[in-house]
Amino acid sequence: MRRAAFRRLVSEALEDLPVEFMEKLNNVEVVVEDLPTPDQQVLAGGDEEEMLMGLYEGTPLTERTTDYTSLPDRITLFQDNIEAVCGTDEEIREEVRKTVLHEIAHHFGMDDERLYELDY
């Protein structure tokens, strides 16, 4: 899939969020990369063999104090890995949506254990 089409899927997933969630996503950058760097792979707690679909880098809202200041948080989706596990454009669309929601949930303070319970 062309990068522009993939980015449109990411934009659609973000546009589908309720307004009250979008309002809390200020100072969050959402980007698309081909693959995670080795540092991102380590940050995610996985080994290089694990297919990382997305990554949240930042401080969750639940861990911030009133005097919190920092660079923007960053959500990265890894296009090559997402495409590798999907067979159709519709599967890619669904995986992008699911990954965007998963990473946004980290921004709101949810951990992987709870997200897996919710199938995200």
Domains assigned to the chain? 3-117 (3.30.2010.20)
Between CA 10 and CA 2 the distance in angstroms is: 13
pLDDT in tens, 54-85: 999 988 878 776 777 677 899 999 999 999 99
Asked if residues 115 and 105 have their Cβ atoms less than 8 Å apart, the reply is yes
What does the pLDDT look like over 83-117, one tens digit per residue? 999 999 999 999 999 999 999 998 888 888 887 88
